[in-house]
Structure 1
């Protein structure tokens, strides 16, 4: 049966079935990195996209062009929710994000740019590219919105981690596929040596036979005299189960979530720890991002003198508490004169009321002190 070896060596499927290719190259599973990043970064992006950007002047909200750009439609191709989700993705994934204001008053997120840094003067951005268009003009730092995530070392760590996970995941998939591989032997009654024409016909028939077994749930093949196919049992099929592969992918998502400050229970939708996880998520992940965005918007959109007079851009709607969940605490804060009702409204993310009574302090009897003691 020496001729059979020659036939098998010319057939990649049979070669794989008989494990003749003993050297398997381990490929880096790039989609693992993309899956982990997409899951976590989009989770943060969806949260920030719910923000309400408020331009405040003398304690009152201003409804102007900036209100429309930041909250409704920053440009002709994106809604505000899409814009801020894309903004956060670029900030975390690429470590920085650049937003420019065009002559048509559109806010555009740059896909590529060159930054010229100076020690004393403002940095300059050149070759700013959005989609397929590159702007010929340069942009000064005070003309753009630019944020850095400051995670250069973190990015290197994540690249190394993804490489290790990719190699491990590839090996698990290969072992699982090998252990669940269909293997068989073909016995042929032949007298003398087969010529090349007969070998070719035989090889073609074997190819169709194994293709039918591999691709179809139910495969029927003719039984020929002198030709026997016997499937080789694959033992107990020990190897990597689907659950183990799933655990590995979940572990990778968890590691990235920990790096970005997202509680694992929250990213996987575990409701048993939802309240505690949400508080930690808002405090350690969302609040720092909102602070970065708020500081940059105030620095670029509000003049210094106006800012010192009290003008602000505030980002609300994400980090604030639900009023219905803290109603008892609100009652005690107002009743003890710690806060006025309007101050409480601001802390809960609502705009202050124009009713002057909500600017006054109130105290209930149980918090009031009695002069001279109880017998007076």
Structure 2
């Protein structure tokens, strides 16, 4: 390469332009993984945060400290919606979540902890850390709310998939940037001597070109005697389509959504399949998580004896049932005598009414037994 190699290596951008360094390390696009996880996990978190936690004694809802903690203010720093959204994010992202109840009745999500497992005794959690504070005491399993997501598939999937996608995404960006570079050739008069003076002139000339191209939308290239700059026509270069990059990001988000059980139509905002997608999401993604939370809360908050007597905590999450759209079906359920009106209210996530008439079965004449229907007059 001689003198040209020395000149080009003084300008790293020009060296990259001429592809002198053909093997370079591909930078991993960490934000690609972060973006997919944020979109999908927060989507689930927002739906769970809308859940209504009802402390029940038989058929009567109780408004006590647990109602306030679960539905209004779990701790001094978070609202219930923020708390449950953070709860779900940590559960899915880290595959487990631990919540402890402090002496001043605050529910706190642990940022870090150590779990000691035992075969016949309750597991113990020690070194529980929330923000910058580490509890000196340890917590037994029956003193905390602890859930695992049990999605080993997600962890294995992310480890390999995101590395591959990051390499591909990085390469696509590099190709796009390289293909859209402004390229040119510098000609040198053969009568010019290649001494240090002329070499420095060439370097200064190249530096001015790059500064001019970067700083101005319209750049005027100065001419030097004995040096000639010619730009390569952009028509000879095909750039990487931005649509290809968008499709790749969409594919990453879709793959993560499929693993988490979220219909891709909901994530991508495809309204044509909205009704079917929301039903599938509620049934296969939202409801299982709500059931996990409900079972864990009942096991840790409600004593076994009280639970068997009818005390419990019901969690009503997002439902695909719409009262207005299902008004005709509601009428049929009640009119056929299959359900009371209070039972129908519960099916749609509403609270029971205190009106005793709503606990009575109602039936229309059309649904009466044929043997009970009398026709005509008898003498």
Smaller-chain TM-score bracket: over 0.9
Q: What does residue 132 of structure 2 align with?
A: 132
Give the drift of 1:18: 1.3
SS in 1 for 2:371: coil
Give the drift of 1:239: 4.6
Superposed CA deviations along residues 1-45 of structure 1, whole A, max 9, x for unmatched, are 942331112210110111111112223222111111111000000
Q: What does residue 347 of structure 1 align with?
A: 347
Give the drift of 1:283: 0.1
TM-score relative to the length of structure 2: 0.94
SS in 1 for 2:350: coil
Give the drift of 1:202: 4.0
Superposed CA deviations along residues 142-183 of structure 1, whole A, max 9, x for unmatched, are 111000000124311221111111111122122222221211
SS in 2 for 1:37: helix
Q: From the superposition, tell whether residues 336 and 373 of structure 1 become closer, same or farther in structure 2 (CA, over 3 Å).
A: closer
Q: From the superposition, tell whether residues 250 and 320 of structure 1 become closer, same or farther in structure 2 (CA, over 3 Å).
A: closer
Q: What does residue 224 of structure 2 align with?
A: 224
- Does 2:364 correspond to 1:364? yes
2:58 and 2:194 map into 1 onto residues whose CA distance is: 99
1:235 and 1:291 map into 2 onto residues whose CA distance is: 60
Q: From the superposition, tell whether residues 193 and 224 of structure 1 become closer, same or farther in structure 2 (CA, over 3 Å).
A: closer
SS in 2 for 1:8: helix
2:284 and 2:3 map into 1 onto residues whose CA distance is: 68
Which shows bigger deviation, 180-189 or 262-271? 180-189
Q: From the superposition, tell whether residues 201 and 192 of structure 1 become closer, same or farther in structure 2 (CA, over 3 Å).
A: closer
Q: What does residue 26 of structure 1 align with?
A: 26
2:220 and 2:188 map into 1 onto residues whose CA distance is: 19
Give the drift of 1:64: 1.1
Which shows bigger deviation, 49-58 or 284-293? 49-58
Q: From the superposition, tell whether residues 217 and 374 of structure 1 become closer, same or farther in structure 2 (CA, over 3 Å).
A: farther
Q: What does residue 69 of structure 2 align with?
A: 69
2:373 and 2:98 map into 1 onto residues whose CA distance is: 65
TM-score relative to the length of structure 1: 0.95
In structure 1, list runs of 5 or more residues that go unmatched: none
Q: What does residue 43 of structure 2 align with?
A: 43
Q: What does residue 91 of structure 1 align with?
A: 91
Q: From the superposition, tell whether residues 239 and 222 of structure 1 become closer, same or farther in structure 2 (CA, over 3 Å).
A: closer
Residue 47 of structure 2 contacts residue 317 of structure 2 at CA under 8 Å; is this kept in 1? no
Cα RMSD (Å): 1.8
Residue 29 of structure 1 contacts residue 169 of structure 1 at CA under 8 Å; is this kept in 2? yes
Residue 17 of structure 1 contacts residue 182 of structure 1 at CA under 8 Å; is this kept in 2? no
Q: From the superposition, tell whether residues 308 and 68 of structure 1 become closer, same or farther in structure 2 (CA, over 3 Å).
A: same
Which shows bigger deviation, 358-367 or 159-168? 159-168
Give the drift of 1:125: 0.3
Q: How does 1:1-376 map to 2 (within 5 A)?
A: 2-189=2-189, 191-195=192-196, 199-200=199-200, 202-319=202-319, 321-371=321-371, 375=375
